[in-house]
Structure 1
Amino acid sequence: MNLCIGPITINYINSSLENPMLELSTHSLTKVANILFFDEPAGSGFSYAKSPEAYITNDTLTPIHMHQFIRKWLVDHSKFVNNPLYLGGDSYGGISVPMTIQEIYKGNEDGEEPHINFKGYILGNPLTDKHDSYNAKIEQAHRMSLISDKIYESVKKSCHREYQYVDPNNYRCIHDLQVVYECIKRIKVDNVLEPFCDPLNTSKSELLRIDLRSIDKTSIDIWSSDEDLTRWICYYKSAYIEAWANRRDVKEALHVSEVFNEIKWVSCNQSLTYNDGLLAKPSYKFNVMSTVAYHQEFSHKNCRALVYSGDHDLRVPYFSTLKWIESIDLLVMEYWRPWYVDEQVAGYTMKFSNHNYKLTFATVKGGSHTSPENRPEECFNMFIRWFDDVGFGGSDDDDVVTDRSKHICDKEG
């Protein structure tokens, strides 16, 4: 279902809500890898559990389930057992993916079969340390000119750089945080340059009933006004995807159980709850605060890592990611330098190493919280270069685009 890196996308120009049209993606990661997409935990995407209790899970159980699935899948598809495997994820995958990798290493060391030929991992804007990422939002807002120097210096001083766990008696800090909130409350956290989408906008259902074919989508300037652009980003794009995913023929092609024919696929399932006999409770417990220690452990393994960040993300700021990378005491092999696509700066990169462990960090210039979505060409080139290990810091001479299918990857999202 991930239209950011998968083989197909919506042809928005020629589509309507009644008939979403598909087209092959130019920048599909399937050009270089066989990809398995996880709908995890149960209840996300079209995944489901057979009992209400089975929906109850947490950060600790999810990696165990993912690890079990990978081994069972390899048993059923034994021709892929010897293929190098890379695990990947965006956003909250920064919690689940490293923990799954640890399960894989432990399973291999314990002699579990089949042996998984694990080679490395890819993480995009990963939530790795929840506390540090939360605190970094204030500095990111300042770096992006969303709050002034004066406001930033005041809140930094009054709160002592601690913005999550605030002393309720520190009235100055609370006041300064309220000032910050007023400055950024209508800023889209996933991409500070895109229009803010009001989740309480009561006109959404009305907007989705509009026949989009009435908009002139053949002109060079597709969207004639800022209002049209805002509607497109906030409502129309997800509406097209949901309309396609909920078609009966699509469900049949994906072998979705007929028992769930009336269940609608949604971009973000907010209804994952269970009933304990008294009241409804969230079915997922967020019980892991940081996975930095996992990366520290991996730094003594024989594997490769690519960690990238869209630099316009306010949710997981890029410098908070770079901060934990630098905290695991790796040797800097290449210092901060630009990398290019079509002779334009596509972002900046650094390389780290510890014997057989190699980590590449890269920013994606203009990238959002899910950079492959709004910077597909740049991210496609980034993935290609990393898989082929041809270098990140040079010019377009480094580009090596191949059409091999020799990897198995997992992408969350």
Structure 2
Amino acid sequence: MRAEKLLVCFYIMLLIRIQSWSSLLPISYSATVRYLPGFQGPLPFEMETGYVGVGESEYVQLFYYFIKSSSENPEEDPLLLWLTGGPGCSALSGLLYEIGPLHFVVKEYNGSLPNLVVNIQSWTQMASIIFVDSPVGTGFSYSTSSQGYQTGDFKASKDLYQFLTKWMIDHPEFLENHFYVAGDSYSGKIVPLVAKEISDGNEAGSELFINLKGYILGNPVTDPVFDSNKLVPFAHGMGLISNELYESVKRSCGENYVQIDPTNVLCWEDMQSFYKCISGLNQAHILEPFCTFASPIPKEVVGDRRSLRQSYSDQFLHDPQPPIPEVGCRTYAYYLAQFWANDYSVRNALHIHKGSIGKWQRCHHSLPYSYEIQNNIQYHLYLSKRVYRSLIYSDDHDMIVPFLGTEAWIKSLNYSIIDEWRSWIVNGQIGGYTRTYSNHMTFTTVKGGGHTAPQYKPKECFAMLKRWISEEPL
């Protein structure tokens, strides 16, 4: 009798303890989304949203959108984990502006909820995609502890690996699907590290084996020496600076435009002239007009460093209350997102935890984030030795991360070329140029594109991924 009473007491105490924990820690969960405000009728694809708790105490709750492949055989299609750059830019950027199945109808805001339409070039026609708000503090992801918001390159990568393993446990039907880590812009720093975490876990005999096949990077931030040092030759090749200035700055700076000697007066003067020449351009796409509400040099490139490049770009950086862009500007769709994502009916449809965040921001540039990886080329070498496939694509009109810089760091890996530089065709037209290396890495440019590629060239990017994911030549 005494033993039974003790057992009852034990269960009561355990129930109280669980209830006290649950009041502090939200339970990770997922929910199906069949309708979205702004879109007419039921969604023509399978969508799920949810949170996954990560970290020792699961204070950090990473929010995600999952879109199942809408092909005829979704069970056989690959699974992608998509990471938007920033750091701190919401996964909705990838979902609504780049590769997801919905786009905004861009028209002047009149106080009503912005409308959504189907994106006929969505990558979800050939792959299932998990869009994650990462790192914590991005989009709808949040922490129940103030310490949880302290993050950086390494912690964000480990959180994502833990997120993925927990998500896979809840979705075991995808364990055998080919898996790829993908992302663009600042995610160029994070994607290879997450891929390494997965690879190391598999090699260590983790209870959960993830069928990693490779990774995909678009307009990737990789290394400041390669990325920024190619800004000057890129500008010269595009006719943005004179031959005289180009030759002068090469001589005075010794072709080193990143770590400038403070005593080198000639170099500083030449670089001042250089930035004056490019300061009025839309650096995301040099042929498009500069519009407000978006930064041509976002924090993902500048980071927390003061530099000569930044001093000439401050006038273009995000403003706490930026002017409203013109309807004809590409950035007007960014303006519409704040009205949509902050609407109560939208948050309710997405199953957002009430009170978890305040105002939703497309890009949260004031995150307490540590930029710990200056150069991640070592991770590309690591993954190459394990024979993972990789697709690296750049846009030839992107001046934020010039394609010349990406081309240069790939060359520094010192792998032999197995498919020489050539054009690739979409609907009878050149979509870009490509080259393949012996480490199973494909580098390609997207002709006429900007930062980031699918926003500017969705048809070409759709064809590019479809061929690569099927292991066909571009």
Q: Secondary structure at the match of 1:67?
A: helix
CA offsets 1:338-386 (integer angstroms, 9 cap, x no match): 11111011100111124xxx11111000111101001111101101011
Query: Which deviates more, 363-372 or 136-145?
Result: 136-145
Partner of 1:233: 330
CA offsets 1:300-349 (integer angstroms, 9 cap, x no match): 21321110001101111112111111221222111111111110111001
Partner of 1:11: 105
Cα distance, 1:387 vs. partner? 0.8
Question: 1:140 pairs with 234, 247, 256, which one?
Answer: 234
Partner of 1:402: none
Partner of 1:365: 447
Identity rate of aligned residues, in percent?
40
| Paired AA for residue 75 in structure 1 | I
Partner of 1:293: 378
| Paired AA for residue 186 in structure 1 | G
Cα distance, 1:48 vs. partner? 0.7
Partner of 2:464: 382
Q: Aligned partners of 1:184 and 1:14: how far apart in 2? A: 30
**What are the residue-to-residue correspondences of 1:118-197 with 2, within 5 Å?**
118-197=212-291
Q: Aligned partners of 1:39 and 1:7: how far apart in 2? A: 17
Query: Residues 117, 203 of structure 1: CA spacing in aligned structure 2 closer, same or farther, 3 A cutoff?
Result: closer
Query: Is residue 226–residue 406 contact of structure 2 (8 Å, CA) maintained in 1?
Result: no
| Paired AA for residue 233 in structure 1 | R
| Paired AA for residue 463 in structure 2 | N
Q: Aligned partners of 2:343 and 2:206: how far apart in 1? A: 40
Query: Is residue 106–residue 327 contact of structure 2 (8 Å, CA) maintained in 1?
Result: no
Q: Aligned partners of 1:95 and 1:368: how far apart in 2? A: 19
Q: Aligned partners of 2:451 and 2:217: how far apart in 1? A: 12
**What are the residue-to-residue correspondences of 1:39-58 with 2, within 5 Å?**
39-58=133-152
Q: Aligned partners of 1:128 and 1:206: how far apart in 2? A: 31
| Paired AA for residue 81 in structure 1 | L
Q: Aligned partners of 1:21 and 1:228: how far apart in 2? A: 15
Q: Aligned partners of 2:382 and 2:355: how far apart in 1? A: 43
Partner of 1:348: 433
CA offsets 1:154-203 (integer angstroms, 9 cap, x no match): 01110111112111111111100010011011112211112123566999
Which has the bigger relative contact order, CA under 8 A and spacing at least 6? 1
Query: Residues 119, 125 of structure 1: CA spacing in aligned structure 2 closer, same or farther, 3 A cutoff?
Result: same
Partner of 1:23: 117
**What are the residue-to-residue correspondences of 1:238-257 with 2, within 5 Å?**
238-257=334-353
Instruction: Give the structure-2-normalised TM-score.
Output: 0.72
Q: Aligned partners of 1:293 and 1:13: how far apart in 2? A: 45
Query: Residues 361, 16 of structure 1: CA spacing in aligned structure 2 closer, same or farther, 3 A cutoff?
Result: farther
Q: Secondary structure at the match of 2:365?
A: coil
Q: Aligned partners of 1:158 and 1:125: how far apart in 2? A: 29
| Paired AA for residue 55 in structure 1 | Y
Cα distance, 1:14 vs. partner? 9.0
Query: Is residue 17–residue 239 contact of structure 1 (8 Å, CA) maintained in 2?
Result: no
Partner of 1:267: 362
Query: Residues 206, 300 of structure 1: CA spacing in aligned structure 2 closer, same or farther, 3 A cutoff?
Result: closer
Partner of 2:24: none
Cα distance, 1:25 vs. partner? 0.7
Query: Is residue 282–residue 288 contact of structure 2 (8 Å, CA) maintained in 1?
Result: yes
RMSD of the alignment, in Å? 2.0
Question: 2:196 pairs with 82, 86, 102, which one?
Answer: 102
Partner of 1:311: 396
Q: Aligned partners of 2:110 and 2:433: how far apart in 1? A: 38
Aligned residue pair count: 357
Cα distance, 1:242 vs. partner? 1.8
Cα distance, 1:98 vs. partner? 0.5
Q: Aligned partners of 1:207 and 1:39: how far apart in 2? A: 25
Q: Which has the larger radius of gyration?
A: 2
CA offsets 1:29-87 (integer angstroms, 9 cap, x no match): 11001100111111111111111111111112111111111111111111111111000
Unaligned runs of at least 5 residues, structure 2? 1-91, 294-314
Q: Aligned partners of 2:453 and 2:108: how far apart in 1? A: 25
**What are the residue-to-residue correspondences of 1:192-203 with 2, within 5 Å?**
192-198=286-292
Cα distance, 1:12 vs. partner? 2.2
Q: Secondary structure at the match of 2:423?
A: strand
Q: Secondary structure at the match of 1:89?
A: strand
Q: Aligned partners of 1:107 and 1:206: how far apart in 2? A: 47
Partner of 1:398: none
Query: Is residue 226–residue 408 contact of structure 2 (8 Å, CA) maintained in 1?
Result: no
Q: Aligned partners of 2:387 and 2:461: how far apart in 1? A: 25
Q: Aligned partners of 1:333 and 1:110: how far apart in 2? A: 32
Q: Aligned partners of 2:174 and 2:122: how far apart in 1? A: 20
Partner of 2:164: 70
| Paired AA for residue 326 in structure 1 | K
Cα distance, 1:16 vs. partner? 4.6
Cα distance, 1:136 vs. partner? 1.2
Instruction: Give the structure-1-normalised TM-score.
Output: 0.82
Q: Secondary structure at the match of 2:287?
A: coil
Query: Which deviates more, 294-303 or 48-57?
Result: 294-303
Q: Aligned partners of 2:327 and 2:354: how far apart in 1? A: 38
Unaligned runs of at least 5 residues, structure 1? 209-226, 273-282, 393-413
Cα distance, 1:204 vs. partner? 7.1
Are 2:163 and 1:81 aligned?
A: no
Q: Secondary structure at the match of 1:259?
A: coil
Query: Is residue 46–residue 256 contact of structure 1 (8 Å, CA) maintained in 2?
Result: yes
